[in-house]
Amino acid sequence: MKYSNVIAGTMKWGLWGSKFSSAAYEQIIRDCIAIGVTSFDHADIYGNYTTEEEFGRVLKQNPSLRNQIQLITKCGIQMVSPNRPQHKIKSYDTSYAHIIESVETSLENFSTDYIDCLLIHRPDQLLNAYEVAKAFTQLKQQGKVLHFGVSNFKRWQVDLLNSRFPVEVNQLECSLLQLNPFVDGTLDQCQQNHIIPMAWSPLGGGNLLAETDDEQTKRILAVANFLADKYNSSADVILLSWLISHPSGIIPVLGTSKIERIKAATAATQIKLEREEWFMLWRASTGKEVA
């Protein structure tokens, strides 16, 4: 599966953020395609279960756009929402029946007959790997989903599911403010098993670029700004380049609804940090030299 070098995350495009009109959705989709950002990250719950459908209206009105993009979506979280009145509490459901039902709903929402990549959104304490594999196998055979993966799974949880069905993606929180995947074996596992790591909140949810008194963030920004001067770039591009340059092949999932920020992020793929520069940022995050 070929994804764009950065992925446009849609969580804040709808009700949970910018509240785009159909025209605004179409404009940003076309603008993303024009700059080579063709992968779009969704989840069934985004916008209280409305963002998929809003995005899908554009595809329904402009069918030619579908074969120019890759749709990633997630299922498994059951939120309390007026759009899901049957949910009494927030819970997880990774049962065979729920995965199949969720995909059918997403296909209808997107006005498409296939999803490029489906992820299990969160680890589920009641996850039955055989049931997930059964659902994934059926969906793949039917051509309704082309590729499969997980989101926020620990290394051993990936191992469990991977023993029943190939895991191709692990979408996880990863940034200079969240170094756990670098040290807990998650990114090592991605390299070992050819799993694509996708990083959500690659800029720490925007905290890495915000005015703050946090010492860790100030150290990181000081180094990022120093390197930005060297590469005639900006701090956010340097921070994304730091992720992209990791040998596991991290793909940032951008949380912005501004095309200017998305366009700027694509420049991160053109910067190749030197090893010492990469470790300068690591040291700035941890506050100490490597052991």
What residues does each domain of the chain span? Answer: 7-167
CA angle 273–279–281, rounded 5-degree value: 80
Catalytic residue among 46, 92, 96, 130: 46
Q: Are strands 251-254 and 196-200 parallel, antiparallel or unpaired?
A: parallel
Per-residue pLDDT of the chain (291 residues; tens, 9 = 90+): 799 999 999 999 999 999 999 999 999 999 999 999 999 999 999 999 999 999 999 999 999 999 999 999 999 999 999 999 999 999 999 999 999 999 999 999 999 999 999 999 999 999 999 999 999 999 999 999 999 999 999 999 999 999 999 999 999 999 999 999 999 999 999 999 999 999 999 999 888 888 888 999 999 999 999 999 999 999 999 999 999 999 999 999 999 999 999 999 999 999 999 999 999 999 999 999 999
Sign of the C-alpha dihedral computed for residues 110, 72, 152 and 93 taken in this order: positive
Active-site annotation holds for 46 = yes
Task: Note the pLDDT of residue 272.
Answer: 94
Q: Which fold would CATH assign to domain 7-167?
A: TIM Barrel (3.20.20)
The token duo for 46 is 């985004």
Say how many C-beta atoms besides its own lie within 10 A of residue 14's C-beta. Answer: 22
